Amino acid sequence: MRANSLATEEFVFEQLTEQVIIVKLSRYIFTFPYGNSEMLLFNSINGCLIKMDSACFHKGNVLESNLTPADIKVLHEGDYLADDEIIISQLDSLYLSPPDTLMLNIEVTGHCNLSCSYCYQQGWPQRGSIQNDTVEKILTYIEKCTEYLDYKTIKLDFIGGEPFMAVDKMACIFSEVKSICQCKDIKLEAQAESNGTLLNLHNLKWFENLDLSVTLSPPEDHNKYRSYNNGQGSYQQIVSNLTDCRELFAKKSIKLNLRYNVHAANYLLFPSFLAEIRRLGLPVAAVKTAYTAEYEYNAFHNGLSLEQFMAWNSSAAIDALREYDFPVPFFPYASTQRCAAYQPFSCKVFYDGSIGLCNASPYGRSELHIEQIATNPELLNEYYREVKSWTPLQDPACSSCKELLLCGGKTFCMPKPCNYALYDLELFLKNYMTSA
C-alpha cells in the first residue's frame, strides 16, 4: 500500500525556535543511527529504505533548514511525510473492503511417512485421508463463494501429514478448481508443504503455478530430526527426488522453495548448506529460514532463544544468502491484507471435513463441518463472527501503534501478540543496507 502523496505545503511543520523549523515524519517511519554520521529511514508504509545525514535530524524528525530540495523530494515521493490520519483511513477502507482472494487450506491427509522429532502434529490424534464426498463438498463450497464475492484469485494450500501421500486427491481438487477459475476468469494459485520424499515427475505433472515448499537441512542434521518411521534417514531420497525434477523446477511452472528449520545444532551450518544446494545445481527460488518451535508433547529442544534466532536471522543469515546468490526472502512490509482466519469465507478444511480458521488451527477444536457450509458459506462467517468481523483498528493499542503496518494487528494464533517478526528490525535493516 502507498499512502496518498501530499503536496509540500501540506507537510506538518513545527517551529522549534525562531530560526529552526522541523518537518514531522509519519508515525510509521522508523529511524536508526547508521555509521558515524548517517541515519536510516525505513518507511513501513511501502518498504522504502534510505540514508540521510544525521545533521538533518532532531528527535526523530527532520530539520527543514538542513534539507536540500532534493531531500524534500525524496521524502515526499517516498511518503515519509504522509498524513497519519490518511493512512488510518486507507487501512480502515482496506480492512472493511470485500477481499479479492479466497484462501483455502486443505489437509488432504493426516498420514505421514516421516517421524520428525519436532513436528507440531505429534500430539494430535491419528487421522486418515480426505474422501471423495469431502472433496465434492469443498468444490461446491468454492463455487458458492464465487457467487458471493467477485474474486480475482483463489489460493489453495495443500498440507498433511505428507500431502503427496494423497496426490490423487490433490490433483483432483486442483483440476476441478482450475476449471471453476477458468469459467469465471479467476486466477488460481496453489502451494504445497511437502517433506519431499514422494516428489517425482509423475506426482508433479498435475500441477502448475504451484509454490512447493520442502524442508531440508545438512544431512547430519536432517537425518537426525527428519527420519522415516523406521528410523532411516530421508535426506538422500529427497535430494535425489529434487535432482530428478530439476528441469521441471527450472521451467518455473512449479517454484521450489526450501525451508530451513533453525535450531542451536544447525544454524552455523547454514552457509555450508547453501553452498551444497548451489553445488547440486537445484533451481531453488528461495531458501526460507524458520524458527523451530518447541511443543510440550515432543522432546525436541531448540537451544536457541527466539531472540537469538532473530539476531542471527537479521545478520549472518542475510550474509550467507547474499554470498551464495540467494534472494533475501523476507523483508519488513506493510501487512494490509488480513490472514485467512480474518477473511470472510476463507478457512481450513481438515481431511474429515471439519473446519478451522486457517493453517494455525489445530485439529478437533471446531464443531463446524464442510457439509454444513458447502451450500451456505455465510454460516462460516456467522460461526466465526467474532474473528471474521475483527480489524486491528478496533483495538486502541493496535490502532495507535507505530508498528501496526508491520505487525498487522493481534492474531488469535500468537501467544505474544506483539512478538510478530522473525527478525530484529534495526539489525536487519543495517545488515541489509550494508550488504546491498
Question: How many separate domains does the chain show?
Answer: 1
The yes-or-no verdict on residue 260 having pLDDT over 80 is yes
Give me the pLDDT at residue 14, please: 47
In this prediction, residues 103-109 reach a mean pLDDT of 97
- Cβ atoms within 10 Å of 59's Cβ, excluding its own: 7
In a domain, 67, yes or no: yes
In a domain, 76, yes or no: yes
Give me the pLDDT at residue 415, please: 67
In a domain, 25, yes or no: yes
- The confidence band for 3, taking pLDDT boundaries of 50, 70 and 90, is very low
Sheet containing strand 61-63, strands side by side: 13-15, 21-23, 61-63, 57-58
Distances from the Cα of 54 to the Cαs of 59, 67, 74, 112, in angstroms? 11, 11, 16, 55
d(C-alpha 226, C-alpha 254), whole Å: 24
d(C-alpha 68, C-alpha 89), whole Å: 31
Angle at CA of residue 86, ends 331 and 421, nearest 5°: 25
d(C-alpha 291, C-alpha 230), whole Å: 26
In this prediction, residues 232-236 reach a mean pLDDT of 97
The yes-or-no verdict on residue 74 having pLDDT over 70 is yes
Of the ranges 23-27, 63-67, 284-288, which one carries the lowest mean pLDDT score?
A: 63-67
The yes-or-no verdict on residue 123 having pLDDT over 80 is no
- The confidence band for 370, taking pLDDT boundaries of 50, 70 and 90, is very high
The yes-or-no verdict on residue 204 having pLDDT over 80 is yes
Distances from the Cα of 72 to the Cαs of 6, 79, 306, 315, in angstroms? 12, 11, 39, 31
123 preceded by a cis bond (ω within 30 of 0): no
Sheet containing strand 254-262, strands side by side: 284-291, 254-262, 210-215, 187-194, 153-159, 101-107, 347-349, 355-356
Give me the pLDDT at residue 432, please: 86
Q: Using the structure block, give the residue that is written with the C-alpha cell 494487528.
A: 409
- Sort 420 into a burial class: Cβ within 10 Å, 0-12 / 13-18 / 19+: middle
In this prediction, residues 95-119 reach a mean pLDDT of 94
Q: What is the extent of the structural domain holding 33? A: 8-92
- The confidence band for 7, taking pLDDT boundaries of 50, 70 and 90, is very low
In this prediction, residues 212-220 reach a mean pLDDT of 98
In a domain, 74, yes or no: yes
Q: What percent of the chain has pLDDT over 70?
A: 94
In a domain, 23, yes or no: yes
Bridge-based pairing state of the strands 347-349 and 101-107? parallel
In this prediction, residues 250-263 reach a mean pLDDT of 94
- The confidence band for 172, taking pLDDT boundaries of 50, 70 and 90, is very high
In this prediction, residues 2-13 reach a mean pLDDT of 36
In a domain, 227, yes or no: no
- Which helix H or strand E contains 39, and what residues bound it? strand 38-43
Distances from the Cα of 216 to the Cαs of 77, 128, 317, 384, in angstroms? 42, 25, 16, 36
Give me the pLDDT at residue 299, please: 87
In a domain, 367, yes or no: no
Q: Using the structure block, give the residue that is written with the C-alpha cell 527532520.
A: 62
pLDDT digits (tens, 9 = 90+) for 401-426: 999 888 888 877 776 767 777 889 99
In this prediction, residues 167-189 reach a mean pLDDT of 97
Phi, psi for 12 (deg, rounded to 5): -85, 115
The yes-or-no verdict on residue 183 having pLDDT over 80 is yes
In a domain, 273, yes or no: no
- Which helix H or strand E contains 101, and what residues bound it? strand 101-107
Contact 350, 335 (CB under 8 A): no
Give me the pLDDT at residue 20, please: 54
Task: State CA 301 to chain mean position distance.
Answer: 24
- The confidence band for 30, taking pLDDT boundaries of 50, 70 and 90, is very high
pLDDT digits (tens, 9 = 90+) for 312-360: 999 999 999 999 999 988 778 776 777 889 999 999 999 999 999 998 8
In this prediction, residues 152-174 reach a mean pLDDT of 97
Give me the pLDDT at residue 201, please: 96
Closest CA to 161 of 128, 191, 190, 134: 128
Q: Using the structure block, give the residue that is written with the C-alpha cell 524442508.
A: 215
The yes-or-no verdict on residue 10 having pLDDT over 70 is no
* More confident position, 10 or 92: 92
Contacts 24+ apart (CB under 8 A), 297-305: 297/122, 297/123, 298/117, 298/118, 298/119, 298/122, 298/123, 299/117, 300/117, 300/118, 300/225, 300/263, 302/263, 302/264, 303/263, 303/264, 303/265, 304/262, 304/263, 304/264, 304/267
d(C-alpha 431, C-alpha 427), whole Å: 6
In this prediction, residues 102-113 reach a mean pLDDT of 96
Mean pLDDT value across the chain: 89
d(C-alpha 49, C-alpha 31), whole Å: 10
To the question of pTM greater than 0.85 for the whole model, the response is: yes
The yes-or-no verdict on residue 169 having pLDDT over 50 is yes
Task: State CA 343 to chain mean position distance.
Answer: 16
